[in-house]
Amino acid sequence: MTVDTAHLAVTDGVGTITLDRPPLNALDSALQERLRELAGEITARQDIRAVVIRGSERAFAAGADIKEMRAMDHAAMVERARGLQDAFTAVARIPKPVVAAITGYALGGGCELALCADVRFAAEDAKLGQPEILLGLIPGAGGTQRLARLIGPSRAKDLIFTGRQVTAPEALSLGLVDQVHPAGEVFDRAHAWAARLAKGPAIALRAAKEAVDGGLDAGIDAGLALERTWFASLFATADREEGFRSFLEDGPGKARFR
């Protein structure tokens, strides 16, 4: 019988992905593929308007499954590496706001999964890092690219070159996480953030995410063209009509988007 190592629950428009592969949510190939499946389901479902990714109290995800990887030779990893990256990219490209609720360890692939979220909330005692260099490797699920884009190349190289773990306060100072809370509050804070956005204009939120991410990937000129196209397109939406009507009649921040 196949074990479901990641679950999806939906409450108030928020889809919560919970990693469930004890003891430390090691990201083996099956869990990677499960994440890809869930990303596709979330993308397609209109009742899910924002997303939380969480692990366990002990570990958000403590990296790849080392036993599984040790059994792979060069040819096997050439075959698997694209699937690994594609699974994480599917999460990164969910066209809805995504927040990672980080408790415990987020190391290696766990840190890379957190990087796929739009924002990261961490527990006060959380530990993050890219320790692949200690295995004679480099990050292979997007860490060299997403980490550098998030915190800058020099800081990213420091973490990747040394393989050191950083505490939540240091991660906050680096820009690796966005908020730090007591461990017992992290999920509730993340869910509240997602629930607030779940009530927002879904198409405009998708446009904002794709414009920011697409511009970072393509450069300023292509990014401005993408922004311009999305900006004009939103004038065709009912949410834009409601936003303008509400602003003029009731004041800012009172629109009820559909």
How far apart are alpha carbons 47 and 211 in whole angstroms? 23
Give me the active site residues, please: 64, 109, 112, 132
Neighbour tally for 218: CB within 10 Å: 13
Classify residue 192 by burial, with Cβ atoms within 10 Å: 0-12, 13-18, 19+. Answer: middle
Q: Which residue has 């360890």 as its token pair?
A: 105
String of DSSP letters for 95-123: SS-EEEEE-BEEETHHHHHHHTSSEEEEE
Residues 6+ apart with CB under 8 A from 234: 203, 204, 207, 240
- Residues 129 and 243: their CA atoms lie apart, in Å, by 41
Can you read off the two tokens belonging to residue 114?
């957190």
- The sheet carrying 179-181 orders its strands as 6-11, 14-19, 50-54, 98-102, 119-123, 179-181
Rounded CA-CA distance 78/120 in Å is: 31
